[in-house]
Every structure is written in structure tokens, then in C-alpha cells.
Amino acid sequence: MPPENFTPLASRGRGLRRRAVNAAAIGACVLAAALILLPLALIVWHLLAKGLPAFGPAFFLHMPKPVGEPGGGMANAIVGTLILVGLGALIAVPVGVGTGVYLAEYGGGRLSAIVRYTADLLAGVPSIVVGVAAYGLVVMPMGRFSAIAGGVALGILMLPTIVRSTEEVVRLVPQSYRHAALALGAPRWRVLQSVVVPAAWSGIVTAIMLAVARAAGETAPLLFTALGNRFWSLALDQPMASLPVFIFDYARAPYDDWNRQAWTGALVLLLLVAVVSALMRLTTRRIAGH
Amino acid sequence: MSGSATVAASPPGAATRPSVAVRARQAWADRACHGLLAALAALVFAVAVLILYETTRGAGPAISALGWGFLTSTSWDPVAERFGALPYLYGTIVSATLALSLALPLGIGTAVFLVELAPRRIGEAVAFLVELLAAIPSIVYGIWGVFVLAPWLRSALEPWLIAHLGFLPLFQGFPFGIGMLNAGIVLAVMVSPTIISLSREILLSLPGSLREAAFAMGATRAEAIAVMLDGARPGLLGAAILGLGRALGETMAVTMVIGNTNRISPSLLAPGATMASVIANEFTEATGKLYLSALTEIALVLFALTIVVNALARLLVRMTMGARRDIAGAA
Amino acid sequence: MKTHSIRRLIGATLLLALTAASASAQNLTGAGATFPYPLYSKWFDVYHEKTGIQINYQSIGSGGGIQQVKAGTVDFGASDAALSNDRLKEMPRRVIHFPTVAGALAIAYNLPGFTATLKLTPELITGIYMGTITVWNDPKIAAANPGVTMPTAPILAIHRSDGSGTTNIFTTYLALVSTQWKELVGVNTSVSWPSGVGGKGNEGVAGLVRQTPGAIGYVELAYAKQNQLQVAQVRNKAGRFMEPTLASTTAAVAAAADALAKDARAPIANAATPDAYPIAGLTYLLVYQDQKDPARARALANFIDWAIHDGQALAEGLEYARLPEALVKVNEASLKKLTAGGKPLAAAQ
């Protein structure tokens, strides 16, 4: 029984003030959304306006042409970005998701505290420093620039986002799910595989997509690892072209034709990430069993 | 749930415990799983150690040549080989603080809007678009900052700030359009997709019973949201730290709009520089061992700053939350 | 060192494991300066069509090019800043400089409503960038521009925030015309600027100048043209006010031909001939005199030979000044010095 002096919220006589606070808070949220979404929308608009003119199948299928010759595309850069980000994800997703699950499920020990701190630390490393580190770790021993080195650099960049976000969403899976599975006789690892991770899967996919999106747009680390390539090359031990580096080179040039292609490149990059993200969301629905 | 552990079909009351062999196998599998995950976690630690090692090795010559004066000196002279990181340290702290103080409230507010207030379809569509925006190369943000934001700041916002708030040293100076304020705003916009997406995921992961309990007690919409935010606090901290990480490490966009001077000024309208921007600007063109080493030492200082700030943030959350772990445990 | 050899072992294993359909030995890699990138990319495309040899070049910056040459990860580097004697000592083997083309720095400014062409003297430019001249209607500026009313506005001097060969050319010029600059600031790809703000890249400086009334900045000529910036006339050593054009740039290179014959790194700024534009510089290919692989060395030598002869025809269309005959001869002599494993190369095709 509630104590004698308990007054439920609804019957306290300050209805007007609470309604006003309510309205103000909701208004603040709407304002916040508008203030942030407006510049983002402006940037996308800018991108569309400048990038659409040179957009077309030619861009995807043709190789870059030297200055002064019309047309040309970034076929090798598009494929290169897919390969490089794929390599990075190959490294970062298993390690990152596994680490996030570890921190959430077996957390509390000294290893967890250390790993959590280092994941946060990695989040703050400038991408160029990661590139320089990857240069020392991969390029120097190999004696040349390569796609592998680029993949390693991108993987390192993707790690912190995946680790921390996976930990947070796995932690938020209700304990009741775990207890129910354990009560049914499932061993701990089975609980993780069949219950916890699928329940957190939507959040994990968001984390992976954010990490992929960021890695896809990074220029600085690739300059020191994959370098770049104006020719068609799929070899993993050779320099590889990538969209961000191309965009970077073309945007800086004093030629309008190249500048236009840079904008189109940025648009294509967004499109690539959108397609990959949509594909991942589709698999999400299937795994989570909706 | 797919492939759940099956319960043997046997009369009620009959023993259904797995055999000793099965239990032993399961215990081994559990240990293997624990071991595998721990190994992956240790790998993350190893990566960080490797990067720290490479950076320290590169910074060695500068550390021995410049000593502690590196942190207090304001000169940056590659010709005379005199280097000091103080202006960059200052610029990093100011720009990141400005960026987060804009992006956190606005970002979390947007996430709340998308989760609680907007119709579900619109909320999902906008959330998808916001995720995409994390992929926009920073050079595009930089171009937007120079060609769209700077003119607006120069002609509209900065004169207004000077006119109405010019008595504060924070808003004194000439309205050039580029500078710390521009960099802070561009950073805030860059960091917001991360904060919005992650905050939204965190809010969606909260148990619905939290909201329902609040409403059952007669709470208004805003009060229920406040309860949910409170429960989401550790997750939101994670999102904030990731956003902060991006703000501290962002190079390309910042360097295009911050004016790149190594002078410390109390005004937000003045140009400045950040540690990440000076590394990005000068690393590829740096010739000379001490020059390169000094730039690498700046990276080391940035590491140290990240550690300190993260520790402070964690302390803050722990102090305000007490001993409570996570709300979800109660559900 | 132990750790070094362990890393080499790991690296060699990685390489072995991954070398599938590796590129043929005649594909070359180069890295370095951004300034000549548009021209080089055209050269490599044309050369690829002519000979089938793929030369992959990335513009990671002059310093990046020098670092990679030192590390041996590329076949050649490109730099707008020549290596000083100290830097040359740091390289593991002897390096040859091959000047390829020259470029001019335009002094661009933004004075809305100012229809005349601004005339600047070396003292004025130095003063603006030292921070001693701060307004456009300073009497010293007015003195150099008689008959024109200068606006009363503050000057915003824009420099490069990123290290660059362009800054190297500009500071070389300033050090030649001002002992104060030489002592206080010096010459480098990146210096401690006494005043002003920094823009990133040529395009950053051009963008800032275009946007900001009262701004002044130094950019490569192509960027000034692309952004349609107002360009100043600069007084050269002979006393004439010259605009940056391809002709005046080539004249600047020709004026230094004798000095360049002795040392290909000699600066061409502040040339004394009447036709020369004073703020100009050469860009170089950096190549080890003694190459490791004879086939690659021959391919590289053939390319350089093509570049300094046939390739020059493509330069002017892209706003680069071609090399005068004297300098081509200097390069031909340097080419003959290339060796592979100590043995001289076979005659270039």
C-alpha cells in the first residue's frame, strides 16, 4: 500500500507548469533536429547539385582520363574503395564485435577495463596517425605501398566504433532474455550466439555501417598505405586506387572538369555506402527473425 | 529464436539434465568461447600498443631534443627547428569543446525527436540518411565550411555576435568568417551523424517497460523522455566519447576553415589551429628528422589528451550515477 | 637491428604469400609534389599509350616524395623543393635532380571596385607578409601605384597552412629580396609566418582570396586563372613590373641557365633579365644515380628522356612553362650519369 502522504503525479496541482515544460521540451527537440538536419541537408543538396552533372554510367565504367580530355570516370577507384573497405571490415568486424560482446558479457575484469580504455583511445587517434603507423607496420616491411596496408589502416579506424557500440547495445539486451535461455538449458556460448547477439543485431549493424561509412570517406591514412593507382589493378600487394584519394586529388586541381568529377565522386561514395547499408539492413531483418 | 536448445520429450517430473559428457563438452565450448572473445579483445589492446609504440618511436628524437618545453612553447619554426605544441593543444581543446557543446544537445535532441516524436517511417528514413552522412568525406565538409558557412558567418552571425556580445573577450575581433567558430560549427555538423545514430540505437534498445512505467505514473511526454535519457546515460556517454574522438582527430575539414595560425587568442572569431590539423597539414611535406619527429610528438600529446578527457568523462558519469549499473538489468 | 630484421622477415613472408599476378617489372611507381600532378598524369597516360609502360604517380606532397625515395618504396620522387646539401647527406645513395617544368606564383588579391592592376614591389610584398604593412591605403602602396586611389581596408595576408613547394618558392624569393626575411623567417616548405592566416592547398588560398574582400595570397598561376582572381604585377630585379605568364616564367628559367648548368638546384627566383617574372620555381624528379634494377632503370631513363623532349610540348596547354634548351641539355648530361648496379645503362631509345 502506498504511504498516506503519497500523491500521484497526475493529481498534483501544477498541471499548467508541467504542460508548459512539456511543450517547451518537445519544441526544443524539434528545434534541435531542425538545427542539425538543416546544415546536413544543405551539404547533401550542395553535393547533388554539383555531383549530378557528371553522373552517369560512364563514370562507373571508364578509367580516369588526363586533364583536358573530356569524359573519363573513376572505375578503378570505385572498385578499389570496395576492396579496401572490404579488407578493413574483414579485420574490424570479427575483432570488433567479438571484443564488444566480450566487454559486455565478461566485463568487469582488468582486461576489460584496459581494453575499454584503449578502444576509447583509438577513437581519438587522427586518421593520419593511423596511416603513418600502418606505414611503419606494413609498408616498410613489405617495401612497397599496397592494398593490404590500406585495409589494415581502415580496419584500425573502424575498430573503436564497432567495439564501443557493440558493447553498449549488447549490454542493453534485457537480462530476462539471457535468463530464459539459460533456464532452457542452453550453454553460455549458445545464449550469446542465438539470443544475445541477434537481439542486439540491429544496433551492431548500425555500428558497423557507421564505421564503414567513416572508413569509406577517409583520405589521409590511404595516402601512406594504399597510395593510389591511376591504372586498373586488383592486386592486393600493389598500390590501389580509392575514391577518397581521387576526390582529394581532383578537388584540389585548378581544372573545372576535374573539380566536377570530384563532386561526382563524392556522390558515388555516398551511393556506395547507401547500397551497402541497405543490403546490411535487409540481412538484419532476416537474422532478427522479423 | 533460431535453433533453441530442445527439451527432451519425456514425462513431466522425469530428469532432463544433460549427461556428464554433454555437460563437459558444453563447459569446454564455453571456455573456448570465452577464450576466443578474450583473445579478440586482447588484439584490440595489441593494436593500440603497436600504434603507441610506432608513435613513440617516431617522437623520440623530438622528445630528447625539446624536452618538456615542447608543451609550453608557442613557437613553431621549422626553419630554426624550434617547436612548441601549446597553441595546438589550446586549439584542439577549444574546438572540440565548442563542437561537442553544440553537437551533444542537438544530436541527442534529434535522436529523441526521431525515436519518440516523429512518425515511425519518417524517423527510420531520416535515421538511414543521417547514417549515410557519416560517409561524406571531410573534404566536402571543408568546402562547405569555406564557401557556404564562412560567408554567412562573415556577413550575418559574427557581426551580430560582435554587436551584442562584444563585451566578452570571446567575441572580439574582426569578422573574417574563418576561424575557431567556423571550425567548431563544422566539427559539430561532422560529429552529429555519429551521435544521432548511436543515441537513437541506444534509445531504441531501452526496454519499453521504462516508458510505460513512467506514463503509468502520470508523467508527461517530456518527463517520460527524461526518465529514458537517464536510463540511457551510460550508452549516451559511449556515443559522446565516440563523437569526441572524431572531433579530436578530425583533420581535413578543420584545417580548411580554422585559419591555421599558431597564436593563442581568447576570441572565438580568431583563427587558430589544432593538433590534428597541424599534423595533417605538414606531415607529408616535412623534411628533416626533427621536424617529422616534432609532428609525431604532437600525435603523442593528442593521445595523452584523449586519455585524460576520457577518464574525466567516465568519472563524471560515475559520480552522477552512483553505484547503479544499467537499467536494463531490472527489466 | 634485431627488430628490423624480424619485421623484414614478416614482410617478406607476407609478400611471398600475396604476390599473385604481380605487375610486370616495367611498371614504375612515383610519388611527390602536387604542383606538377596534372601535367605528370597527362604525361604518364600519353606515355602508357605510346609504350605500354604503366607509371603510377601519387601526389602526396614534396616531403612525402622525398621520404619515400629515402625509404626506397618508390622508383622516383617529385619535389618542388630541391634537396639541400644537408638533406642530400641523409639519403642512402647519391640523388640526381631532374628539373621537368617551371611554374609561376601569382600574387592574387581581392579588392572589390578596384579596377586598375595592382603594382607591387619586393619591399611591399615582404612588408605585407611580415605584418608591417596592414592597410591597403598605406602610403608605401600608394607610392608604387601612382594615380590610383587605394581603398581603406585592412589587408588579410593569406599563406599556405600545409607545407608545400609553393611556399618554398615564395620564401626563396622573399629571402632573396629581403635580408630581414632571410634572418627572421627563412626558407622552407613550411615556415613560422609572422602574420596572416593559412589556407589549405592552392585551392584553399584561392578560395579564401576569392571570398574575402581585402585578402591577398600567393597561388600557382593556374589557380589564379581558374578562380578568375585579380593578379598583381610584381617589379623584377631589372625594375620592370611583370605579370606572371608562361613567357615570363620561361624567361626566368633561361636567365638562370648558367647557374643551373653548374647545379640543377639553383633558384630561378628574382631573375635579373627584363622579361623575367621574379616569383618562379622549377619542379624536380628525384632519382638515385645508382639504380638497383637495370630493367626498371632503363624504363625510368627512357621516360625522363621522353619527358624532357616530347613531353614538353604538353606543358604549356596546362599552364606550365617548358624548359629552355639549355636546361634540356643539362638534363641530358645528368641522364648519362645513371647507372644500375654500378654499370652504365644501355643507350636510351
Tens digit of each residue's pLDDT (9 = 90 or more) over C29-88: 999 888 888 889 889 999 999 999 999 998 888 878 888 898 888 999 999 888 888 888
| Closest residue, chain C, to A240 (C-alpha) | C56
Q: How confident is the model at residue B4, as a pLDDT? A: 43
Query: Cα separations (Å) of B134 from A125, A208, B195?
Result: 17, 12, 10
Q: How confident is the model at residue A288, as a pLDDT? A: 53
For residue B1, the chain A residues in CB contact (below 8 A) are: 181, 194-195, 198, 289
Q: Which of 3.30.70.1710, 3.40.190.10, 1.10.10.10, 1.10.340.30 would CATH assign to domain C104-257+267-280?
A: 3.40.190.10
- Of C76, C91, C27, C81, the closest CA to residue C285 belongs to C76
CA C56 to CA C193: how far, in whole Å?
Answer: 35
Give just the sign of the alpha carbon dihedral C3, C7, C10, C12.
Answer: negative
Please answer yes or no on whether C161 and B176 come within 8 Å at the CB atom.
no
Cβ neighbour number for residue A222 with a 10 Å cutoff: 33
CA A189 to CA A208: how far, in whole Å?
Answer: 22
Q: How confident is the model at residue B227, as a pLDDT? A: 86
Q: What is the three-state SS of B106-133? A: HHHHHHHHHHHHCCHHHHHHHHHHHHHH
Q: How confident is the model at residue B182, as a pLDDT? A: 93
A185 touching chain B per CB within 8 A: yes
Question: Which segment of A69-73, A146-150, A157-161, C130-134 scores lowest on mean pLDDT?
Answer: A69-73
Tens digit of each residue's pLDDT (9 = 90 or more) over A236-275: 888 899 998 888 888 877 778 888 888 888 888 888 888 8
Phi first, then psi, for residue C109 (nearest 5°) are -145, 165
Question: Which segment of A146-150, B48-52, B221-225, C296-300 scores lowest on mean pLDDT?
Answer: B221-225
CA B255 to CA B151: how far, in whole Å?
Answer: 17
CB-side neighbour CA atoms (13 Å) of A132: 26
CB A61, CB A124: distance < 8 Å: no
For residue A159, give how far its alpha carbon lies from the nearest alpha carbon of chain B (Å).
8
User: Three-state DSSP class for A63?
Assistant: coil
pTM listed for this prediction: 0.80
Please answer yes or no on whether C15 and A233 come within 8 Å at the CB atom.
no
Chains contacting B (3+ CB pairs below 8 angstroms): A, C
- Look at residue A3 and tell me whether its pLDDT is greater than 50: yes
A149 vs A255 pLDDT, higher one: A149
> Euclidean distance between the first and final Cα of chain B, in Å?
20
Q: Which three cell numbers stand for residue B96?
A: 572540440
Location of each CATH 3.40.190.10 domain in chain C: 27-102+281-344, 104-257+267-280
User: In which band, very low, low, confident or very high, does the pLDDT at C9 lie, cut at 50, 70 and 90?
Assistant: low
Best of A245, A255, A256, A259 to mutate (most C CBs within 10 Å, chain C): A255
C308 vs C161 pLDDT, higher one: C308
Please answer yes or no on whether A9 and B137 come within 8 Å at the CB atom.
no
Phi first, then psi, for residue B182 (nearest 5°) are -60, -45
Q: Which of A4-18, A246-260, C246-260 has the highest mean pLDDT?
A: C246-260
Q: A144-158 burial by CB neighbour count: b if 16+ within 10 A, else e?
A: bbbbbbbbbbbbbbb
DSSP state for residue B154 in the 8-state scheme: I
User: In which band, very low, low, confident or very high, does the pLDDT at B323 lie, cut at 50, 70 and 90?
Assistant: very low
How many whole angstroms from its chain centre is CA B261?
A: 25
Q: What average pLDDT is seen over chain A?
A: 84
C50 touching chain A per CB within 8 A: no
Q: Which residues pair with C104 in a beta bridge?
A: C280
Q: How confident is the model at residue A289, as a pLDDT? A: 47
Query: What pairing do the DSSP bridges indicate for beta strands C215-220 and C95-109?
Result: antiparallel
Query: Cα separations (Å) of B327 from B273, B318, B321?
Result: 41, 14, 11
- Of A258, C150, A172, the closest CA to residue B206 belongs to A172
- Of C32, C30, C28, the closest CA to residue C79 belongs to C32
Cβ neighbour number for residue C292 with a 10 Å cutoff: 12
CB C44, CB C58: distance < 8 Å: no
Query: Cα separations (Å) of A159 from A97, A152, B242, C30?
Result: 9, 11, 11, 31
DSSP string, C233-272: EEE-TTS-EE---HHHHHHHHHHTHHHHHH-TT---TT--
Q: Pick from C11, C45, C203: which is nearest to A142 by CB?
A: C11
Q: Which three cell numbers stand for residue C309?
A: 623532349
Q: How confident is the model at residue C14, as a pLDDT? A: 57
Best of B22, B130, B201, B202 to mutate (most A CBs within 10 Å, chain A): B201
User: In which band, very low, low, confident or very high, does the pLDDT at B160 lie, cut at 50, 70 and 90?
Assistant: confident
- Of C92, C94, C90, C68, the closest CA to residue C79 belongs to C68
CATH class assigned to C27-102+281-344: alpha beta
Tens digit of each residue's pLDDT (9 = 90 or more) over C232-252: 999 999 999 999 998 899 899
For residue C21, give how far its alpha carbon lies from the nearest alpha carbon of chain B (Å).
30
- Look at residue C310 and tell me whether its pLDDT is greater than 50: yes
Give the mean model confidence (pLDDT) for residues C12-32. 62
Q: How confident is the model at residue C11, as a pLDDT? A: 56
Tens digit of each residue's pLDDT (9 = 90 or more) over C99-123: 999 989 999 999 998 888 999 999 9
Phi first, then psi, for residue B257 (nearest 5°) are -120, -5
- Of C14, B43, C55, the closest CA to residue A92 belongs to B43
Q: Which three cell numbers stand for residue A205?
A: 549493424
Helices (H), A75-109: 75-105
A256-288 and A197-216 helices cross at what angle (nearest 10)? 170
Between vectors from CA B109 to CA B104 and to CA B114, what angle results, nearest 5°?
A: 125
For residue B144, the chain C residues in CB contact (below 8 A) are: none
CATH superfamily of B83-287+307-330: MetI-like (1.10.3720.10)
Question: Which segment of B75-89, B120-134, B278-292, C16-30 scores lowest on mean pLDDT?
Answer: C16-30
Residues contacting A210, CB < 8 A, separation 6+: A161, A165, B131, B134, B193, B194, B197, B198
Query: Of how many residues is chain B composed?
Result: 331
CB C232, CB C117: distance < 8 Å: yes
CA B241 to CA B254: how far, in whole Å?
Answer: 19
- Look at residue C279 and tell me whether its pLDDT is greater than 70: yes
CB C200, CB B281: distance < 8 Å: yes
CA A135 to CA A137: how far, in whole Å?
Answer: 6
Phi first, then psi, for residue C98 (nearest 5°) are -115, 105
Domains of chain A: 76-170+182-289 (1.10.3720.10)
Give just the sign of the alpha carbon dihedral B242, B248, B251, B252.
Answer: positive
Q: What is the ipTM of this complex?
A: 0.81
- Look at residue A286 and tell me whether its pLDDT is greater than 90: no
Q: How many CB pairs lie under 8 A apart between chains A and C?
A: 109
The type of residue at B111 is: A
Question: Which segment of A6-10, B27-31, C280-284 scores lowest on mean pLDDT?
Answer: A6-10
Please answer yes or no on whether C186 and B80 come within 8 Å at the CB atom.
yes
Q: How confident is the model at residue A84, as a pLDDT? A: 95
CB B327, CB B231: distance < 8 Å: yes
DSSP state for residue C113 in the 8-state scheme: T
Q: Which residues pair with B159 in a beta bridge?
A: none
| Closest residue, chain C, to B288 (C-alpha) | C87
CA B46 to CA C14: how far, in whole Å?
Answer: 19
Q: Which residues pair with C109 in a beta bridge?
A: C216, C230
